[in-house]
A = this chain, B = another copy of it.
Amino acid sequence: MTQTIKARVLVTPRREVLDPQGDAVRLGLHSMGYDEVADVRVGRYVELSLTGSRADARDRVREMCERLLANGVIEDFSFTLDEAL
């Protein structure tokens, strides 16, 4: 069945990789008085609207992540699929 599907992709730096952007945000928050912040990691959020079947979408979105949206050397990804309203 063809339908509109929304894929929500999270791309995050791998645990063992330095995250200078996260460090900058943490320091910024500390300087503003948010001393309770122990760690910050900054990643990307990508929302895709696609047409097609849900079964195909899962494989295709995984492929898009591996080929373009995430850099497998330094990043992890995860995603969920929703049918769009």
Number of identical monomers bound together in the oligomeric complex:
2
Q: Is A58 an interface residue (CB 8 A)?
A: no
Q: Is the CB of A68 within 8 A of B28?
A: yes
- A29-50: which have CB < 8 Å to B? 29, 32, 34, 36-50
- Provide the residues of chain B in CB contact with A36, threshold 8 Å: 50-52, 57, 60
- Is B64 in contact with A34, judged by CB distance below 8 angstroms? yes
Binary per-residue interface labels of chain A (8-40) against chain B in the complex, 1 for a CB within 8 Å, 0 otherwise: 001110000000001001001100101011111
Q: In the complex, A36 Cα to B51 Cα: how many Å?
A: 5
Q: Which chain A residues have a beta carbon within 8 Å of chain B's beta carbons?
A: 4, 10-12, 22, 25, 28-29, 32, 34, 36-52, 57, 60, 64, 67-69
